Amino acid sequence: MSKRVGIPRALFYYHYFPLWKTFFEELGAEVVVSGNTTKKTMDEGSKTCVDEACLPIKIFFGHVIELKDKVDFLFIPRFTSVSKGEYICPKFGGLPDMIKNTVDNLPEIIDVDVDLWKKGSNPLVSAFEVGSYFTRERRMIMKAYRKAMESFREFRTEVKKGILPEDILSKKLRLIKKSDGPRLNIAVIGHGYNVYDSYANMDMVNKLKNKGVNVLTIDMVDSSVIKEKVKTLSKRMFWNYGTRAIGSALHFLDRKDIDGIIYLMSFGCGIDSFVADLIERRVRRKKDLPFIVLTIDEHSGEAGMDTRIEAFIDMIRWRSKSESNISAHG
């Protein structure tokens, strides 16, 4: 009987799931994914996790609780760095320990270190460590890793075509209602686990689509473009996410077909608090482009989110249609 590996549908799931799924299945494991985030997921996570944690971490706890009695292993990598010379949020590095010391009756946790900070760091080291839970044959692990990287590249190619990761991973493209007026191109800047988790963001992406918006995200911008754009900064970014967020925002600012930018952040996120401000300053200084920050937390009232989205879209459509007809004196 194959071993079951549980993967929480949260955090880096939206970036790396095709890679992880292929790797484990090539080694003969059965991959079990938690369901979509629900109120129960959020409530269970919030109740179990420390109060100071941000919403995405609380949601991750909820997904772990859903999975823990259904699998032989939980895959919770200890992420430190996913790019050379840059770190990610320290909560990712401490996540396996937070889970182990807070959640009861856990299966064995695969908490391999992922740290690509140093030059010459090789992700294969982590792959061999994870693979050793299922086989001693290094050749088999190497083959699984190659297949996994192939799946990951195919996934990234689809995303760069403008397809949202959420739609690819759920294997369905959502129906879009017809809306009045021409379609708008709006860039949504934010962590993937905020942008693609429709419960956490109160279905923001689909609400935008149904209002005639083409949603563009960080993941649709090629890494080479991001690297080129961040060279204009006076100082190199310390955080991987900061680099990607600012680089993609500068790319969207240079495009002539972008109608507005939404920055989606979770309350209590230290990185978001200053990256959002840096991007807003660039937007205000460089271009007269509509910009708004939307903040999410564990409160579930949608009225505020709906009102701000509607007002933002209405303002953009009004500007494109009427602003040029207003005289200079107002």
134 pLDDT more than 60: yes
| DSSP conformation class of 283 | H
Average pLDDT over residues 221-228: 93
176 pLDDT more than 60: no
Question: For residue 32, what is the enclosing H or E element?
Answer: strand 30-33
Average pLDDT over residues 35-61: 92
Q: What is the pLDDT of residues 74-131, one digit of tens each?
A: 999 998 888 888 888 888 888 999 999 999 999 999 999 888 877 667 888 889 999 9
pLDDT at 120: 62
In 3D, which of 191, 250, 254 has the Cα closest to residue 226? Answer: 250
Confirm if 45 and 11 have CB atoms less than 8 A apart.
no
CA–CA dist 76, 184 (Å, integer): 38
Q: How many residues does the chain have?
A: 330
326 pLDDT more than 60: no
Among the residue ranges 6-15, 167-176, 236-245, the one predicted with the least confidence is 167-176
Please name the residue that has the structure tokens 């003969």.
28
CA–CA dist 330, 318 (Å, integer): 16
Among the residue ranges 26-30, 182-186, 321-325, the one predicted with the least confidence is 321-325
Query: What pairs with residue 78 in β-bridges?
Result: 113
Tokens read off for 275: 């990256």
pLDDT at 323: 60
Tell me the CA distances in angstroms from 147 to 2, 65, 85, 153, 158, one per residue in order.
19, 30, 27, 10, 17
pLDDT at 330: 41
Most confident of 55-59, 115-119, 265-269, 303-307: 55-59
pLDDT at 328: 45
282 pLDDT more than 70: yes
pLDDT at 175: 52
What letter represents residue 261's amino acid? I
Q: What is the CA radius of gyration of the chain?
A: 21
Greater confidence (25 vs 90) lies with: 25
CA–CA dist 42, 40 (Å, integer): 5
